[in-house]
Structure 1
């Protein structure tokens, strides 16, 4: 809390935290459910996305602005799916094949209109 006293008048501003567990600073809060294994992230919509993977996956260059998004890839029991990156999507490290019944987190960063970086790691 910040308090300012001036000419006998007390002004108080409350500084607090977001207690609703919302993500802020460039992130939206809802999780966008993706309906296709061909993913073209829209950076103007939700920053958190999820896809129930049931085949090989293609991740294309993101649209609509520079930002970071996170995509949870949940591989079904069929497993052993490959991930193909679209033009101008650069891997950070090795892009793994998606094993059966395993979840992965893809983090995509787009800093300009021509390139994006992606890193995919197993999360369980």
Structure 2
């Protein structure tokens, strides 16, 4: 079990650290290289002006559809998993039921929090 936890930690921590390091490197290079400042400002100003002048209705619909396509299957798998856990808990002892709920409730709250904030 300890080996499996270390494997999960490595698999998820290394890409996270790599992403943070690469983003920090990009910020550092842009900060140090003055020639990159002006094109970045021009790009951001033009982008925000064009986005503010266009209708966002189509973008909102595409965003909602994309979110539904990616989140709905995940939500179905999670709900199916919890249904299976609850089905087993019904026939288990009181101590087993308590332990399962102590494990599942924090995870379920985290999943609800994740899906709720993805709506915005």
Taking structure 2 as the reference length, what is the TM-score of the superposition? 0.22
Taking structure 1 as the reference length, what is the TM-score of the superposition? 0.22
Normalized per residue, which structure has more strand? 1
Normalized per residue, which structure has more helix? 2
Larger Rg, first or second structure (1 or 2): 2
